[in-house]
Amino acid sequence: MLLATRNAQKLVELRRILASSDISGVQVLGLDDVPPFPEIPETAATFEGNALAKARDAAAATGLATVADDSGLEVDALNGMPGVLSARWAGRHGDDAANLQLVLDQLADVPEDRRGAAFVCAAALAVLPGVDTPGVETVVRGHWRGTLTRAARGRNGFGYDPIFVPDGDRRTSAELEPAEKDALSHRGQALLALLPALRELLSPASSRS
């Protein structure tokens, strides 16, 4: 199975979530493990649209069952932004430090009671149709509420994790242990919601009986 990402930290996280489930015996590859192909830009207006486009694109190029995700931070005081622009909020895709600092700068004068935010993740599964099997497309969503700090804390996460404090906790997402984060996070929720489709895909005999 292919996880359509080049983000090494995200790939580790997604592999860990799948490994902790009851799905076993699956070799999980990332985009750097397969021959390169032209990748479409993330231009959809929603997380779901981007995730499904990436999954379709990679499945068509490789022939592999593909999971893709698109995730980001929605900040209440910024009217839901950066949203789908989270990875390139500061202008260059994947510059985590610049993206995080820009959000902190934009919220510099925002009081504590208005610093609410949510991590959102859409995860998509795409499988090409075969001779005797239909194609598969499934899209699910995870949602993780919290508040934003005024300074980064923690080293266990990436992206906006160091400034996001989940509701009910005092630690940032980057201060949580990996297993804790997997159980709570937007990506963990989305992957959990995707497991039934993955089980059906990986157990075709039982699904037809």
User: Over the stretch 161-208, which tens digit does the pLDDT of each residue have?
Assistant: 999 999 999 999 999 998 899 889 999 899 889 989 988 887 754 444
**CATH class of the domain at 2-208:** alpha beta
> Mean pLDDT across the stretch 72-98?
94
- Active-site entry in 70, 96, 161, 182: 70
Q: Nearest Cα to 72, choosing from 3, 141, 171, 156?
A: 141
Catalytic residue flag (residue 70): yes
Please give the pLDDT value at position 131. 66
User: pLDDT tier at 209 (50, 70, 90 boundaries)?
Assistant: very low
Q: Nearest Cα to 5, choosing from 70, 89, 78?
A: 70
Please give the pLDDT value at position 135. 86
User: Over the stretch 123-135, which tens digit does the pLDDT of each residue have?
Assistant: 999 999 876 677 8
User: pLDDT tier at 137 (50, 70, 90 boundaries)?
Assistant: very high
Helix and strand totals (H; E) in the chain: 6, 6
pTM, full prediction: 0.89
In DSSP terms, which residues pair with 140 in a beta bridge? Answer: 123
Alpha-carbon torsion (105, 90, 177, 124), positive or negative: positive
